[in-house]
Chains A and B, each alone.
Chain A
Amino acid sequence: MTDEQVLLARARSLDPEALAELHERYYRMLYFYVLGRVGERMAAEDLTAEVFTRLLEAFHRGRGPERHLAAWLFRTADHLVADHHRARYRRPEVALEEAWAAAREEERSDMVVQERVREALEHLTPDQRAVILMRFWMDLPLAQIARELGKSVGAVKLLQHRALAALAKRLQDLRSDHGAT
């Protein structure tokens, strides 16, 4: 039984120490994943917390993952983000426009890059997106990414390669506007 499976078995019985450790271990990973999809810090924090609540309820019903918790959290986050996008489509907010108006020139440039990257990330598959965000935003080594997602290192390398190729294609316009740096 792996360390992750032991932790999950304890968390399934709602053991407070195990749950605290689980939150500690996966919060940042999940936050970056959600933020990469929604692009707003506040929304990402709320949705991340909601994913953990869903995990508790799954444990309470005797469900939830028995291994590869990160993959389960990302899948649940995908559902919540999709709901979030649908709600935003029905009730558009003006936070981005307000932030844009308040930003300085260099901040605006970063905002454009972040928005284009987020938009490009939406075109990746869930696995590609998870690998890219864990690698480039969380600086996790390939071996750990493979372990968290329940894949081989070779499969993670392949996902990374294909994801970067797809991102490059989507970001082509952005590169021509802002140069290579």
Chain B
Amino acid sequence: MARREEELEQALRLLREGAPLEAVVARYPELAPALRAARLLERARPPGPSLRAELASRAAFLRRAEELRAARRPWAGILFGWLRYAPAGAVIVGLLFIAGVLHLLAQQSLPGDPLYGLKRAEERVWLALTLDPVERRLVEETLAARRWEEYRALAQRRGSGTVTWEGQIEGSEGTTWRIGGIPVEVFPETEIVGPVALGQRAVVTAFLGPEGGLIALQIRAISETPTPIPEPEATWMPAETPETPTPAPVQTRLSMRTPQPTSTLIPGPAPTATPSPPAPATPTPMLGPTPTPEDHDEGEIVKWKGILQAIAGSTWIIDGRAVQVTGNTKIHGDPRIGDRVEVKARRQPDGTLVALEIERED
């Protein structure tokens, strides 16, 4: 097509230079209709406008301009000048309004809500734009407090989402404490009642966080004389660490009742003068039916039925009672949180329960 347009342009130039139409048509036969049309157009060219008409138009034009200039108010030019941007301005204002509404709604959202991602994205931007180290720490604390409020609100929304168990404080890893064999996240806002220390027995009230971890609402010491643990491990690594929500909660330290020279993260109390036998670390169910133990040579077999309340890594909370699920555990019926299940477990020498079989009741 471009070649044809170039040929047309060359043919028209020949015509303008005075070449006879038929000669040009003979050279460009495929352009004959267009060239004849061009020739007719030139033949039909009318004379230009009369000078009188052009001058009259010019005079009327300038006169009208003078009238409009006289009528023009100083503010009108500014106002009308800005009016041309009114549609774009309206669109921008509308977008800002929508963004504001989304921001407000996102601030009230909880994990799992549609706008929660927006809230976290805003927080990431906020954090990224805070370059001063001191301010950044403050922002991080603010965000950690927000997470706590979200979890609390989430627990309230879920209603019966809290679980309670009793067990021995066995160790900690960062913000994760292990109590009665169950890992639980401890926030600065977690209410700690009474002096707690390694080996101390405590009652824990927690709820299931949005990412599957248990969040401690309250840890209440129930014994003034914590049971000493002979050799607590320097570091404790859970079999399967539950994923903690980001940003991680602020690290919380256990209060030490007695300073210890050990290098443990949670120093245990000094042994008492009359050491009592170690308390069983078995979580004691606070709710639900009493399990019916069976004597067994390799460990006590415990069976009970109840509601599956939480799953934190390999630890399942069933009717307020913690049980470890291993690769050998037989699980029937794909139980989910909230389902009623029947558990058969074996008590380990350290007092924890390992599930042998879990079956969902239909």
Residues of A within 8 A of B (CB): 13-14, 16, 19-20, 23-24, 27-28, 31-32, 35, 41, 44-45, 48-49, 52-53, 56-57, 59-63, 110, 113-114, 116-118, 132, 136-137, 142, 154, 157-158, 160-161, 164-165, 167-169, 171-172, 174-175, 180-181
Contact = CB atoms under 8 A, between A and B. Distances in A.
12 contacts: A23-B62, A32-B48, A49-B56, A49-B57, A52-B57, A60-B71, A136-B45, A154-B2, A160-B8, A161-B4, A164-B33, A180-B36
Interface of B: 1-2, 4-6, 8-9, 21-22, 25, 33-46, 48-50, 53-54, 56-58, 60-62, 64-66, 68-69, 71-72, 77, 79-84
Contacts of A45: 49-50, 53, 57
B62 A19 contact: yes
A171 B40 contact: yes
B80 A117 contact: no
B84 A63 contact: yes
B37 A167 contact: yes
A117 B41 contact: yes
B81 to A, nearest CB: 5
A157 B2 CA distance: 9
Given A14-B72, A16-B66, A117-B41, A61 B80 contact: yes
Given A19-B61, A180-B21, A175 B40 contact: yes
A62 B77 contact: yes
A56 B61 contact: yes
A79 B38 CA distance: 27
A164 B8 contact: yes
B65 A49 contact: no
Contact of B68 (A27, A56, A167): A56
Contact of B37 (A35, A52, A171): A171
Given A56-B68, A158-B1, A164-B38, A23 B46 contact: no
Given A113-B43, A114-B44, A164-B37, 11 more contacts: A27-B49, A27-B54, A31-B49, A41-B46, A49-B56, A113-B40, A117-B44, A136-B42, A137-B45, A160-B5, A161-B8
